[in-house]
């Protein structure tokens, strides 16, 4: 005994020379005329009481059909081709039906063409009918189909079927519709990329730097239209190079020591990379033109935030991070590179801030490479008055400790937000600051705009480190590595003595920048 999809059957197992398998002895309902759904989906009841698939369909389970069980219905011979309302299917007319299939859905279409179009645009629509009563649509399956005979009036429905030819053609059209624009777009992008590579072709130098033509940099800066700043060295313009990457393009002025500064920048930044050193992307040396291409630092130089009105006020925590970061950059130059590199012009104007206020040392035009044995030393005056170590003035050999002195002055300016020179009643602010540090009154040195919002212990350490860095004799100054460890709190900082030669440094007059042979 078997109950299957609403039909009860009595089966017998047969195993002989001609047949092996289950054979039906009795079933109920025994005829499609007894049960409306006896024949299953897309199968119609014939006048003989048996089931037959409609045109374009075949039994879903032939074995069940051979046993006289038709409720599994029929399936399409050619699958429907419809996706997202786009279809290449067609319709075949069934005009010999007795009555309509079960569950029709009435729609508002007023013509047979509109009724067909509505069904075709809905992938789950399997048939439609249009007569005087209007448009009817069937979804998913057709059930309760009965073929009529010659003695009764026949009803008509249009049955959805797939088509090999149309399906293939439609598939090709669909693929071309999707792939075509992509292929065209890729070709256009390849052409643009090829043209761009030709127009912006660069030659790599030592695996680090790119050589640009003047025309490329003129195009990158839109004819040098967006000027970021100007100084004694030349002008800086904002530009965009391949990537796209925002860059700062420095065009050096034509003067006697321009080529020396140009070579110093290329030789120094072209060989090193550090998170606290501005990155040099490339350069242009074409005829008399000398240009340098750096990473773009959106927030400009430190001096604009310390000394200019209307700029954002740097918090104490940020000032301390800047001091430590600049110290690490100098420590890298002095102690970690193959050759000891002296920057020679550390000042707020040469400390740049990116969009996130990350800080980097810039402008290596006066930098000098020294051997690790310090067998060579500088005697050429270079730098900015107010940040120069005493040995520059006294004509003594210059070592990396000259950068330490400049760092100490910058650290005091970071703390106070005041220029070291020409500052109100204090002609040379570091002298005043050193005295206050020895008195234990460091809060009076903190930038008034911070309104006392700073860590007093960190402030005291920073002031002591600054005063150690500006000692007269370089022997008494810490290395940059030691200064960083002091600022980070890794080692204790003793109270420094007050230097005695500040006034002598100022005897040369107003602040200015020098790079001349002595």
What one-character-per-residue DSSP string does 130-193 give?
A: EETTEEEEEES---SEEB--TTSPPEEEEEEE--HHHHHHHHHHHHHHHHHHHHHHHHHHHHHH
**CATH superfamily, domain at 203-295:** Phosphorylase Kinase; domain 1 (3.30.200.20)
The interaxial angle of helices 316-331 and 480-487, nearest 10 deg, is 150
CB contact at 8 A, 200 and 245: no
**Of 312 and 299, the one with more pLDDT:** 299
Which tokens is 475 given? 């022997």
pLDDT in tens, 391-408: 888 888 888 999 999 999
Model pLDDT, residue 233: 76
pLDDT at 11 over 80: no
Instruction: Assign 506 a pLDDT band (cuts: 50, 70, 90).
Output: very low
Q: What are phi and psi of 257, to 5 degrees?
A: -100, 15
Cα atoms found within 13 Å of the Cα of residue 139, Cβ hemisphere only:
8
Which secondary-structure segment (H or E) carries 294? strand 289-295
Instruction: Indicate if the pLDDT at residue 498 is higher than 80.
Output: yes
Stretch 180-204: mean pLDDT, rounded?
A: 64
Of residues 195 and 136, which shows the higher confidence score?
136
Question: To the nearest whole percent, how much of the chain has pLDDT over 90?
Answer: 32
Whose structure tokens read 């590199």? 341
- For the cut 80, the answer to whether the pLDDT of residue 78 exceeds it is yes
Highest mean pLDDT among 182-196, 441-455, 499-513: 441-455
Task: Give the confidence band of 371 by pLDDT, cuts at 50, 70, 90.
Answer: low
Mean pLDDT, residues 171-182 taken together: 66
pLDDT of residue 286: 87
Contact 265, 364 (CB under 8 A): yes
Mean pLDDT of 269-282: 85
| pLDDT tens column, 195-251 | 555 444 444 444 468 889 999 999 999 999 999 888 767 889 999 987 668 999 998
- Is the pLDDT reported for residue 381 higher than 80? no
30, pLDDT greater than 50: yes
The residue ranking higher by pLDDT, 16 or 371, is 16
Q: Token pair for residue 357?
A: 């206020």
* Displacement of CA 78 from its chain's centroid (Å): 47
Higher pLDDT residue, 325 or 149?
325
Which pLDDT value is given to residue 425?
Answer: 55
The reply to whether 203-295 and 302-516 are identical in fold is no
Average pLDDT over residues 504-508: 46
- Tell me if the domain spanning 302-516 has CATH number 1.10.510.10: yes
Q: What is the mean pLDDT of the chain?
A: 81
The per-residue pLDDT for 516 is 37
Determine the Cα–Cα distance for residues 161 and 141; give it in Å rounded to an integer: 13
Mean pLDDT of 16-42: 69
Give the integer Cα–Cα distance in Å for 325 and 329: 6
The answer to pTM > 0.85 is: no
Q: Please say if the pLDDT value at position 497 is more than 50.
A: yes
Query: For the chain, which residues make up each domain, given as ranges?
Result: 2-76, 82-162, 163-193, 203-295, 302-516
* Active-site entry in 55, 61, 206, 345: 345
Peptide bond into 244 cis (omega under 30): yes
Question: What is the pLDDT at residue 331?
Answer: 95
pLDDT band per the 50, 70, 90 thresholds, residue 32: confident
Q: What is the reported pLDDT for 176?
A: 66
* pLDDT tens-digit map of 97-106: 888 888 888 8
pLDDT computed for residue 151 by the predictor: 63
Quote the tokens at residue 308: 């200019």
pLDDT exceeds 60 at position 327: yes
To the query of whether residue 510 is one of the catalytic residues in this protein, the response is no
pLDDT interval class at 460 (50, 70, 90): very high
- C-alpha 5/C-alpha 489 separation (Å) is 83
How many other C-beta atoms are found inside a 10 Å radius of the C-beta of residue 484?
Answer: 22
**Residue 250 annotated as part of some ligand binding site:** yes
């Amino acid at each position: 005994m078997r109950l299957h999809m609403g039909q009860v059957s009595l089966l017998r197992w047969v195993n002989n020379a001609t047949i092996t398998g289950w054979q039906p002895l009795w079933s109920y309902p025994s005829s499609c005329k007894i049960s409306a759904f006896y024949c299953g989906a897309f199968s119609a009841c014939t006048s003989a009481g048996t089931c037959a698939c409609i045109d374009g369909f075949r039994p879903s389970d032939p074995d069940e059909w051979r046993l006289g069980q038709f409720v599994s219905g029929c399936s399409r011979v050619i699958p429907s081709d419809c996706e997202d309302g786009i279809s290449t299917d067609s319709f075949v007319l069934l005009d010999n039906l007795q009555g309509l299939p079960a569950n029709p859905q009435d729609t508002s279409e007023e013509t047979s063409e509109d009724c067909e179009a509505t069904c075709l645009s809905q992938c789950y629509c399997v048939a439609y009918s249009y007569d005087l009563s209007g448009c009817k649509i069937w979804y998913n399956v057709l059930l309760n189909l009965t073929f009529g005979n010659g003695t009764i009036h026949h009803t008509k429905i249009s049955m959805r079927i797939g088509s090999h030819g149309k399906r293939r053609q439609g598939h090709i059209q669909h693929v071309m519709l999707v792939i075509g624009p992509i292929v065209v777009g890729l070709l256009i992008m390849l052409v643009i990329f090829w043209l761009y590579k030709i127009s912006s072709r660069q030659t790599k130098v030592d695996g680090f730097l790119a050589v640009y033509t003047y025309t490329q940099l003129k195009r990158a800066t839109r004819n040098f239209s967006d000027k970021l700043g100007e100084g004694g060295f030349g002008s800086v313009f904002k530009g965009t190079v391949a990537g796209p990457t925002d860059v700062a393009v420095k065009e050096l002025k034509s003067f006697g020591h321009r080529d020396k500064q140009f070579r110093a920048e290329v030789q120094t930044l072209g060989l090193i990379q550090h998170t606290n050193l501005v990155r040099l992307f490339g350069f242009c040396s074409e005829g008399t033109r000398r240009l340098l291409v750096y990473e773009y630092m959106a927030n400009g130089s430190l001096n604009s935030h310390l000394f200019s009105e209307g700029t954002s006020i740097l918090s104490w925590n940020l000032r301390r991070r800047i001091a430590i970061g600049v110290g690490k950059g100098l420590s890298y130059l002095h102690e970690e590179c193959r050759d000891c590199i002296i920057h020679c012009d550390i000042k707020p104007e040469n400390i740049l801030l990116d969009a996130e206020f990350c800080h980097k040392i810039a402008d290596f035009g006066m930098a000098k490479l020294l051997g690790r044995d310090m067998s060579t030393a500088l005697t050429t005056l270079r730098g900015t008055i107010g940040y120069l170590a005493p040995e520059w003035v006294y004509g003594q050999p210059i070592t990396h400790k000259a950068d330490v002195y400049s760092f100490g002055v910058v650290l005091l300016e970071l703390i106070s937000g005041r220029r070291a020179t020409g500052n109100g009643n204090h002609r040379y602010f570091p002298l005043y600051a050193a005295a206050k540090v020895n008195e234990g009154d460091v809060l009076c040195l903190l930038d008034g705009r911070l309104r006392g919002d700073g860590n007093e212990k960190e402030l005291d350490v920073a002031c002591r480190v600054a005063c150690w860095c500006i000692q007269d004799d370089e022997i008494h100054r810490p290395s940059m590595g030691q200064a960083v460890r002091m600022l980070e709190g890794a080692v204790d900082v003793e109270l420094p003595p007050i230097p005695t030669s500040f006034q002598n440094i100022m005897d040369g007059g107003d602040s200015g920048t020098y790079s001349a042979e002595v």
